[in-house]
Amino acid sequence: MQVLDEQYLIEQLKLGDEAAFKQIVETWQNMVYNTALGILQNEQDAEDVAQDVFVQVFESVKGFKAESKFSTWLYRITVSKALDHLRKKKRKKRFAFIQSIFGASGETIIEKPDFNHPGITLDNKEKAAVLFKAIDQLPQNQKVAFTLHKLEGLSYQEISDVMKTSVSSIESLMHRAKNNLKKWLSEHYEND
């Protein structure tokens, strides 16, 4: 989408134009869904979050001042909604029945993720399941930075804009995320 068209759509959306909203959803829905999916690792949750993101865009677009790119603003909303969703889910789990993470023979179960990420081919599903399990173990900021960089292809500068932090902080987060993943995956495959 050209910047001029984007600005026009945003201005029309600020006026409540439903056609402009539909065009924005069609243009950005895959990016929003894939970002949410990378963080949440659950298709239904990612769909719910994507819906929430676009509702918030519609409701709060009047506050968008174009100080950053529209995509940066959209990533911020998506990451925020996805992390809120994770927090709510974790609170619910605390009060739910605690299921064992061990199988009948005592081996640790690595469940396949309950989603299909668009970038993963069928023959890589099992490896992807292990990788996504490892990504899910990362601290929140590392998980967000890693997801935005490796799954969404954002540059460190773009990620720093989304996360409202410095590029050097993103570099540090990525370094720690890679080290944590390397450690977790090494342990996983040694025990396998």
Same domain, 85 and 112: no
* CA 4 and chain centroid, separation: 28
The dihedral built from the CA positions of residue 137, 141, 144 and 148, taken in this order, carries a sign that is negative
Contacts of 30 (CB under 8 A, 6+ apart): 118
Same domain, 72 and 114: no
Place of tokens 């659950």: 42
Same domain, 110 and 188: yes
Same domain, 82 and 139: no
* CA 64 and chain centroid, separation: 21
Same domain, 113 and 94: no
Domain containing residue 116: CATH number? 1.10.10.10
Same domain, 136 and 161: yes
Question: Considering 51, 66, 98, which residue would you say is the last residue of a domain?
Answer: 98
Same domain, 123 and 74: no
Same domain, 65 and 140: no
DSSP class per residue in the chain: --HHHHHHHHHHHHTT-HHHHHHHHHHHHHHHHHHHHHHH-BHHHHHHHHHHHHHHHHHHGGG--SSS-HHHHHHHHHHHHHHHHHHHHHHHHHHSPPPPSB-TTSPBP-PPPBS--TT--GGGHHHHHHHHHHHHHS-HHHHHHHIIIIIT---HHHHHHHHTS-HHHHHHHHHHHHHHHHHHHHHHHHH-
Question: Considering 78, 98, 118, which residue would you say is the last residue of a domain?
Answer: 98
Domain containing residue 12: CATH number? 1.10.1740.10
Rounded to whole angstroms, the Cα distance separating 182 from 95 reads 32
Same domain, 58 and 11: yes
Contacts of 161 (CB under 8 A, 6+ apart): 68, 69, 72
Give pLDDT, residue 91: 65
Range(s) of the domain holding residue 63: 1-98
Same domain, 72 and 122: no
- The tally of domains found in the chain comes to 2
Question: Considering 53, 83, 98, which residue would you say is the last residue of a domain?
Answer: 98
Give pLDDT, residue 121: 52
Each of the 192 residues of the chain gets a pLDDT tens digit; together they read 455 588 888 999 999 999 999 999 999 999 999 999 999 989 999 999 999 999 999 999 998 888 888 999 999 999 999 999 988 887 665 444 333 333 444 444 444 444 555 555 555 667 777 888 888 889 999 999 999 998 888 999 999 999 999 999 999 999 999 999 999 988 888 876
Rounded to whole angstroms, the Cα distance separating 53 from 28 reads 11
